Structure 1
Amino acid sequence: MAIGKLYIGRKVRDVREAARATQSQFAERLGISTSYLNQIENNQRPVSAAVLLALAEKFGVSIADLSSGEGDRLLSALSEALSDPLFEGYTGSLQDLKLVTQNAPAIAHALIAAHQAYRRSSEQLASMDDRLGRAALSETTPYDEVRDYFHFVDNYIHELDILAERLAAEIGLGGGDNHSALQHFLLNRFGVRVERTSLKDELIRSFDPASRRLSLNAYATPATRDFQMALQIAQLFAAEPIDRAAREAGFRTTEAVEICRIGLQNYFAGALLLPYESFLKRARDLRHDLDLLSAHFGASLEQICHRLSTLQRPGQKGIPIFFARVDRAGNITKRHSAAKLQFARFGAACPLWNVHQAFEMPSRIIRQLAETPDGVRYLCLATQITKGSGGFRAVQPRYALALGCEISYADSFVYADDLDLDSRAAFEPIGISCRICERHNCPQRAMPPLKSRLTVDHDNRSIVPYRIV
């Protein structure tokens, strides 16, 4: 994949400071002048291919790491926030936004947080009635805080991932038959006995600290039971690093800290059952065949997809993919993207995205070649899953999973083998969400883009009753 002009001064400065070198010393090792390095670090000039190669050769820096990462996610979030009419007349160029996200990411995060607070307050004010005097304006929810935390750390927690991988090797996990190993480890290390039983109130698991007994729902799938044992190990074995990571995240409320602890426990459990290096190797060998990966590791499709989205270890990165879980109402209940495609923070996802079709074709993996308004093309996969357990009257929540990558990585996926990746006509136009999509002739448009003018022709009517100017 070709790399365009890169203004990555902050990243280059971080590499230099990590090497404890002055600008003069660093420039000499790169074979450039000190003034050129100074211009690079201040984003006055882009990094040349020769400098990129020198950084890779002499300082062990991954070119992929330099050309991607938080910048894309932060730029997407900032661009969406600034598309609000509130900022009309104040939005800078794309290059201006890149300079802000690269040189002053804390300012970009602050602006995004302020815009979120503004939207929540505006929405609540718009819906309030005569109880306004007794109602308090909402603040950032703990769930939103935690969601953004994982989003901006690239959904990868290095300390927990390494710890889980070492423990998996110690107790022999990652081969697909994990149940006995997990059960024995809980008993031998922590004195916890595992039993399968019928739990009330649709509980999946229940742990009694006094009796050291872990009860698992007898009707849950084997993958779910294994994950719940791994989660119990996370709570007992990795409590200290999990608590430390949650505290250091800087959340504003106790609720957010507790929700983050749940997320970190889940992260450790997934990393324990699907150890990084062995999972990455198997994913490459099987060309990301989701069903084969699920069978090999004894994990659910959702666990496999979620783990693929966390393969962001420096120097050992997997394919940069996007991953989301969507409910039948179109709500995105899980989301992460290591690719350029970023999910909307407000409103529903694009109706042309194949994830919505998954509910119409259960148990099938649906493929789509898609192109976003910025001209980037993607291989998109979607499939429906059913969660829950029990009999006829049990609640069975249904979700659609979405997974995909930029088309330059499609050859790494078995699902691309018989698709015509070179035909422009094969790619369907999709967007992020209607409120920020600039496509003028989309028959599925639910609402006009926020920053566009409209004209209405009363004598001629198409599916959408207005034209975007």
Structure 2
Amino acid sequence: MAIGKLFIGRKVRELRDANRATQAQFAERIGISTSYLNQIENNQRPVSAAVLVALAEKFQINMSELSSGEGDRLLSALTEALTDPLFENLAPNFQELKLVTQSAPNLARAFIRAHQGYKRNGEQLVSLSDSLGRSASLAETTPYEEVRDFFHFVDNYIHALDVEAEALAGELGLGDADSYAALSGFLKSRHQIDVKRSELDNDALRQFDRPSGTLLINRYAPAATRDFQLALQVAQLHVPDLIQSIAREANFRTVEAVEICKIGLQNYFAGALLLPYGDFLVATNSLRHDLDLLAARFGASLEQVCHRLSTLQRPGNKGVPVFFARIDRAGNITKRHSSTKLQFARFGAACPLWNVHEAFEAQGRIIRQLAETPDGARYLCLATQITKSGAGYHSPQPRYAIAFGCEISYAHAFVYADDLDLSAKANFAPIGISCRICERVACPQRAVPPLMRKIQVDHDRRTVLPYTIGEA
């Protein structure tokens, strides 16, 4: 395995502290000098392949965990924050940014959080001139964004919940397309709750009446939605203390964020219960990520399957690293996570050249795209439209596009890549993250200039864009 320069000083130091060893003791165990270990821990020298092997053999750790994607996600978020014109001529270089995310990740997170607060305050001040009401609504999004970042930076995997859900799934015999009887039976036998269909005029997906011990499920909900709502109710009753503990330890700034996080954790448990880790990972590999077959195998929706695939990050037993996003017709990213180098824009719309936008024109089909980002990374991108079913013709039916995919080195694990030529550069469409941070100078779909580049105007010559992009 080819290994580039890997600076993992913080992780090595944490591993040494966990084993209560001095630098001299730890260095002796892995066969290096104390001075070399000191340089590694301070990110003054990278680790060699021999040191990585020694760490894996002596301390039974997975080498892939030493270079997890958390650093990439932090680096991407920090880089995007620093494209703000506020930091013009002050932005550190790539190596300095990498050193910060590796040596002081909490400092990087604090900076990102501070910049988000600055952006929100600026937006609210601007909006005050138009509407005080809009300013209030912007303020209310703060806890939601904070929770979304929490899941993103824990790699969208909550080990304690996942293991607990898998154990209960084994007890109940879940993991196939017939979950309703098992879940409703469990609620009745363990928690004395009767599951009933809702009244005709009740549009709630799920409504729990605690005094009577009655759980009403929308009579028009699809089977996958119905089962998920039952599993969510199980989460509320089966692991409330664990969920409360995880939400509290996240150190959110507001009570609203804690409550929103509880919803996210309940949803996480529900997904892990219906799609138990071990069985789902085996099926994923044997079916080669065929989304339709996985949905049929587990009685789940495509969105539930894609979301669960993005959580397969269990140490020592990881799935293929994927990216996953849900986007509405206006281009808003309402769900997002990436275990790959591809990171989604935190501000602004997604790249218009990305195939996810075409999904709204191809209902019922999974469309494919080979794409390359400005850093040279290549991806297999899948996209499909989903519709949230309503109760009849006149009910609202929200439509979203699901984006899903992997880095091209993993494409062989996907049935969707079987007839694609992955070797020809011409087959890869040039995409970016968003226009405001994309460095492509000749993109015909560019909406706005990149923030960190100057623009030049030639009044005597006009191309697709009314300007050219100059140096930073």
TM range (shorter): over 0.9
1:267 aligns with 2:268: yes
Partner Cα distance (1:103, 1:165) in 2: 35
Tell me the SS of whatever aligns to 1:202: coil
By how many angstroms is 1:435 displaced?
A: 0.3
Partner Cα distance (1:50, 1:222) in 2: 52
Tell me the SS of whatever aligns to 1:120: helix
Could you tell me which residue of structure 2 aligns to residue 118 of structure 1?
Answer: 118
1:120–1:139 contact (8 Å) kept in structure 2 = no
The letter for the 2-side match of 1:111 is F
Deviations 1:92-127 (A, max 9, x none): 111100111111111111111111111112222223
User: Measured at CA, do residues 131 and 238 of structure 1 come closer, stay the same or move farther in structure 2, by a change above 3 Å?
Assistant: closer
By how many angstroms is 1:131 displaced?
A: 7.2
Could you tell me which residue of structure 2 aligns to residue 38 of structure 1?
Answer: 38
> Which is further off, 323-332 or 172-181?
172-181
By how many angstroms is 1:309 displaced?
A: 0.4
Tell me the SS of whatever aligns to 1:385: strand
By how many angstroms is 1:388 displaced?
A: 2.9
Could you tell me which residue of structure 1 aligns to residue 448 of structure 2?
Answer: 447
Partner Cα distance (1:167, 1:135) in 2: 44
> Where in structure 1 are there 5+ consecutive unaligned residues?
none
By how many angstroms is 1:442 displaced?
A: 0.3
Could you tell me which residue of structure 2 aligns to residue 350 of structure 1?
Answer: 351
By how many angstroms is 1:199 displaced?
A: 5.1
Could you tell me which residue of structure 2 aligns to residue 143 of structure 1?
Answer: 144
Tell me the SS of whatever aligns to 1:10: helix
The letter for the 2-side match of 1:83 is T
1:117–1:140 contact (8 Å) kept in structure 2 = no
2:322–2:407 contact (8 Å) kept in structure 1 = yes
Partner Cα distance (1:378, 1:2) in 2: 20
Partner Cα distance (1:128, 1:358) in 2: 36
TM-score between the two structures when normalised by the length of structure 2: 0.96
Partner Cα distance (2:354, 2:201) in 1: 38
Could you tell me which residue of structure 1 aligns to residue 83 of structure 2?
Answer: 83
By how many angstroms is 1:138 displaced?
A: 4.2
Could you tell me which residue of structure 2 aligns to residue 240 of structure 1?
Answer: 241
1:221–1:389 contact (8 Å) kept in structure 2 = no
1:198–1:219 contact (8 Å) kept in structure 2 = no
By how many angstroms is 1:2 displaced?
A: 4.0
Could you tell me which residue of structure 2 aligns to residue 249 of structure 1?
Answer: 250
By how many angstroms is 1:387 displaced?
A: 0.5
2:55–2:61 contact (8 Å) kept in structure 1 = yes
Could you tell me which residue of structure 2 aligns to residue 14 of structure 1?
Answer: 14
2:124–2:135 contact (8 Å) kept in structure 1 = no
Report 1:166-315 matches (<5 A): 166-198=167-199, 200=201, 202-315=203-316
Could you tell me which residue of structure 2 aligns to residue 65 of structure 1?
Answer: 65
Tell me the SS of whatever aligns to 1:401: strand
By how many angstroms is 1:54 displaced?
A: 1.5
Cα RMSD, aligned residues only:
1.7
By how many angstroms is 1:140 displaced?
A: 6.7
User: Measured at CA, do residues 448 and 222 of structure 1 come closer, stay the same or move farther in structure 2, by a change above 3 Å?
Assistant: same
By how many angstroms is 1:20 displaced?
A: 2.2
Could you tell me which residue of structure 1 aligns to residue 436 of structure 2?
Answer: 435
User: Measured at CA, do residues 53 and 449 of structure 1 come closer, stay the same or move farther in structure 2, by a change above 3 Å?
Assistant: same
Partner Cα distance (2:283, 2:18) in 1: 33
Could you tell me which residue of structure 1 aligns to residue 5 of structure 2?
Answer: 5
TM-score between the two structures when normalised by the length of structure 1: 0.97
Report 1:373-388 matches (<5 A): 373-388=374-389
Partner Cα distance (1:410, 1:447) in 2: 32
1:101 aligns with 2:101: yes
Partner Cα distance (2:185, 2:394) in 1: 34
By how many angstroms is 1:19 displaced?
A: 2.2
Partner Cα distance (2:214, 2:281) in 1: 34
Partner Cα distance (2:53, 2:419) in 1: 35
> Where in structure 2 are there 5+ consecutive unaligned residues?
none
Partner Cα distance (1:283, 1:307) in 2: 11
Partner Cα distance (1:279, 1:171) in 2: 16
2:83–2:437 contact (8 Å) kept in structure 1 = yes
Tell me the SS of whatever aligns to 1:164: helix
The letter for the 1-side match of 2:455 is L
1:117–1:139 contact (8 Å) kept in structure 2 = no
User: Measured at CA, do residues 188 and 139 of structure 1 come closer, stay the same or move farther in structure 2, by a change above 3 Å?
Assistant: closer
By how many angstroms is 1:139 displaced?
A: 7.9
> Which is further off, 59-68 or 192-201?
192-201
Partner Cα distance (1:330, 1:106) in 2: 31
By how many angstroms is 1:345 displaced?
A: 0.5
Partner Cα distance (2:63, 2:235) in 1: 34
1:271–1:307 contact (8 Å) kept in structure 2 = yes
